[in-house]
Structure 1
Amino acid sequence: MVTIQQLATLAGTTTRTLRHYDAIGLLVPSRDANGYRRYSKQDMERLQLILFYRSLDFPLETIHTLFETDTDRAHILKTQVNALREKAAYFAALAETAEATLASLEGGVQMEDESLFKGLSFDELKAHETKHEAEVTSRWGDSDAYATSQKRAHGRTKEDWEALSQQQVDLVKPLVDLFTAGVPVEDPRVQVVVEANHAFIHDHFYDCSLDMFSGLGQMYVADSRFTAFYDKYAPGLAVYYNDAIQHYCITKS
């Protein structure tokens, strides 16, 4: 028997995820005399399957069904394989947010005093768009989401772009305040901010599914440029934001 922390470490997941699986009845461990969760070998094997299915983008409800019924798993997996073949293009749909954030990375925002939460000017945005145009096109140019984002972008005026830039920065400010106050990512106040950011991307750039949004969060910590963008507001903010996004995506799935 292992503790929740030991299992999270072994499985490469988080205690928050394990608690959520317990709460929804997907992975319910036994409890010791003190009420602490204890996971058996059978629980570990079940978690291995859960994480396998999650890696294939199975919704939690479908995983429940797979465990609780005699559903033809082979048929379901074959169907999912076909969906996974489209996943590269699916994740490529991060294009517009990537472009917008890259435009913010070295665009002259002075991270002090009144400039801390000031959006970029149109000229700064266009300069960065030009600077990163080749990279963005090569990575995402063939995706449907990139085409959608470009179509929306062409209809925007200078004032529209500057307003969107300021909205993006304004959405960061409450996140910084919550982070510096030590509020856990599971707190409803944090999740409201995350949901607002998700809606901002979805409404102004491209249809952003939970998988796409989860991928964005992971990119914020995997790509040093994105990490730098968030961490110049507060060191460690990128990791905090990613953790908050992953919790949001898990609870919404």
Structure 2
Amino acid sequence: MDDGDHDPGYTVGRLAGIAKVTVRTLHHYDEIGLLSPGGRTPAGYRRYGEAELDRLQQILFYRELGFPLEEIAAILDDRTVGPSEHLRRQRELIGDRIRKLEELAAAVERAMEARTLGIQLTPEEKFEVFGADYQEDWEDEAQQRWGETAAWQQSRQRTARYTKADWERIKTEADAVNDALVAAYTAGAAPDGESAAAAVERHREHIGLNFYDCGPRMHRCLGDMYVADPRFTETYEKLAPGLAQWLRDAIHANADRLERGGEQG
């Protein structure tokens, strides 16, 4: 038995349970000198103390971030780095991981939008146009969500003829449309004002020219989706906090204006 509760510290089995690792893992760490027990029981079993528990927490943190064991050992054995410096480094590493996850989330949004718009590119071209994090698996939801609509069918027919150069042009134009939306919003334009109307009309026309007929009614539905679906909301919120709701309100105001003027859709 690897026991002996009268002795202070942790048996290898108890430490493994606390840290949610295997006993074999702790044995391996001991064999390579990464985490050795602080002592032994009279029967010769490994005994770990609080210092070893703290070190194991550090090891598992760096392992979670993908560091190899050799590099972890070098980091933890650097006597010039104190506990406060380790915490500062860990905070920076966590920040880097958060930023990476945010980039991945943005890539998911781009992929979903790409599928919604019926992109006809090779896998290699999709990676090049939409980023290295693009995954075709993300496209299925849009097909299931809009595949039976007339707008989807029209978009598929139009985009079937598009080349890589067409998609690069469309992406550049879309970036310019978003820049115009951000400029109007950050300048304090009222959602029902002229500058907001000009910006969202440009947004509507970009969709209509490149993908499917986007009348005021359809555009209003898109505006609602930008605040109802948190994934779309996040896309616009990353451009400017508060932009999603402003865009929705501006789209509604512009749709009302167009319908009063006689355009239907």
Tell whether 2:180 aligns with 1:174. yes
Task: Give secondary structure in 2 for the equivalent of 1:183.
Answer: coil
Alpha-carbon separation, structure 1, partners of 2:150 and 2:135: 19
In structure 2, distance between residues paired with 1:156 and 1:101: 22
Unaligned runs of 5+ in 1: 1-99, 108-119
Deviation of the 1:106 alpha carbon: 9.9
Shift of 1:223: 0.6
Q: Within 5 Å, which residues of 2 pair with 1:221-236?
A: 221-236=227-242
Give the aligned partner of residue 185 of structure 1.
191
Q: Deviations over 1:83-129 (max 9, x none)?
A: xxxxxxxxxxxxxxxxx99326799xxxxxxxxxxxx9744279747
From the superposition, tell whether residues 193 and 244 of structure 1 become closer, same or farther in structure 2 (CA, over 3 Å): same
What one-letter code is carried by the residue in structure 1 that aligns with 2:205?
A
Residue 144 of structure 1 and its aligned partner are, at CA, apart by: 2.1
Amino acid at match of 2:152: Y
> Which residue, 143, 147, 161 being the options, matches 2:153?
147
Matched residue type, 1:251: R
With the length of structure 2 as denominator, give the TM-score of the two structures: 0.49
Q: Which has the larger radius of gyration?
A: 2
Q: Report the secondary structure of 1:232's partner residue.
A: helix
Aligned to 1:164: 170
Identify the residue that residue 203 of structure 1 maps to in structure 2. 209
Q: How far did 1:165 drift?
A: 0.9
Secondary structure of 1:207's aligned partner: coil
The alignment-based identity, stated in percent, is: 34
Residue 180 of structure 1 deviates from its aligned partner by: 1.3
- The residue correspondences of 1:75-154 to structure 2 (distance < 5 A) are 102-103=109-110, 122-124=128-130, 128=134, 130-154=136-160
Higher relative contact order (CA 8 A, sep 6+): 1
Question: Alpha-carbon deviations, 1:1-60, whole Å to 9, x = none?
Answer: xxxxxxxxxxxxxxxxxxxxxxxxxxxxxxxxxxxxxxxxxxxxxxxxxxxxxxxxxxxx
Deviation at residue 199 of structure 1 after TM alignment: 0.8
Q: 1:106 to 1:204 in 2, by over 3 A?
A: closer
1:204 and 1:126, CA in 2 relative to 1: closer, same or farther beyond 3 A?
Answer: farther
Q: Distance in 2 between matches of 1:153 and 1:129?
A: 19
For the Cα contact (< 8 Å) 1:194–1:244, is it kept in 2? Answer: yes
Aligned pairs, number: 142
- Does residue 239 (structure 1) correspond to residue 245 (structure 2)? The answer is yes
Q: Tell me, yes or no, if the aligned pair for 1:185 and 1:191 is still in contact at 8 Å.
A: yes
Residue of structure 2 in register with 1:50 after alignment: none
Residues 55-92 of structure 1: CA deviation (Å, up to 9, x unaligned): xxxxxxxxxxxxxxxxxxxxxxxxxxxxxxxxxxxxxx
Q: State the 1:130 CA deviation.
A: 1.8
- TM-score (ref. length: structure 1): 0.51
C-alpha separation in 2, matches of 1:133 and 1:104:
6
Q: How much has 1:228 moved relative to structure 2?
A: 0.7
The 3 A distance-change label for structure 1 pair 123 and 169 is: closer
| 2:47 equivalent in structure 1 | none
Indicate whether 1:249 and 2:255 are aligned: yes
Distance (whole Å) between structure 2 residues aligned to residue 125 and residue 159 of structure 1: 16
- Report the CA distance shift for 1:102/1:151 in structure 2 as closer, same or farther (over 3 A): farther
Whole-Å separation in 2 of the counterparts to 1:126 and 1:149: 25
C-alpha distance in structure 2 between counterparts of 1:204 and 1:101, whole Å: 22
Structure 2 residue aligned with 1:65: none
Letter paired with 2:217: D
Taking the aligned partners of 1:184 and 1:240, their CA distance within structure 2 comes to 8
Contact between 1:105 and 1:226, CA under 8 Å: does it hold in 2?
Answer: no
